[in-house]
Amino acid sequence: VTCQHYQTAYVVEGNTASLKCMYTESTINSLKWYRQYPGGKPDEIMTIFTDGNRTEGRFTAELQKKDKTSFLFIPNTRVTDSQFYVCATEAQCETSYGSQCKNTVPFGACVSMSTVVYC
């Protein structure tokens, strides 16, 4: 994964994580959020096509095309949520790898999230 933008997010266990992604394309058909475990391949969390929110399991993605921004919300965070998260637009996938974005994430906005546990 090659990151165009990189950020680190810290969240207290049990709180909601809010991960932000910004893109530069003027028009996109979709935006994908991925989670990558250390040493593993990126796993797609969800694809969002239109402005507004979409929920898959515990994850909710929000897309704001006017602002070229997407958020990924993870409620009730757990230690196992401490992973590497990536967003990539459909345009980025097609430019770099054709239709192979199902198996590889070429680049995007990356967030390394760590869940903090207070004892």
What is the reported pLDDT for 35? 87
CB-CB neighbours of 87 under 10 Å: 28
Q: Which CATH number is 107's domain given?
A: 2.60.40.10
Domain count, the chain: 1
Q: How confident is the model at residue 118 (pLDDT cuts 50, 70, 90)?
A: low
* Residue 4 burial (C-beta neighbours within 10 Å; 0-12, 13-18, 19+): middle
Burial (CB count within 10 angstroms: exposed 0-12, middle 13-18, buried 19+), residue 40: exposed
Q: How confident is the model at residue 109 (pLDDT cuts 50, 70, 90)?
A: low
pLDDT over threshold 50, residue 100: no
Phi, psi at residue 74, to the nearest 5°?
-125, 105
Output the six-digit token pair for 68. Answer: 């070229």
Distance from C-alpha of 9 to C-alpha of 11, rounded to nearest angstrom: 7
Task: Provide the domain limits for residue 6.
Answer: 2-116
Give the per-residue pLDDT at 62.
96
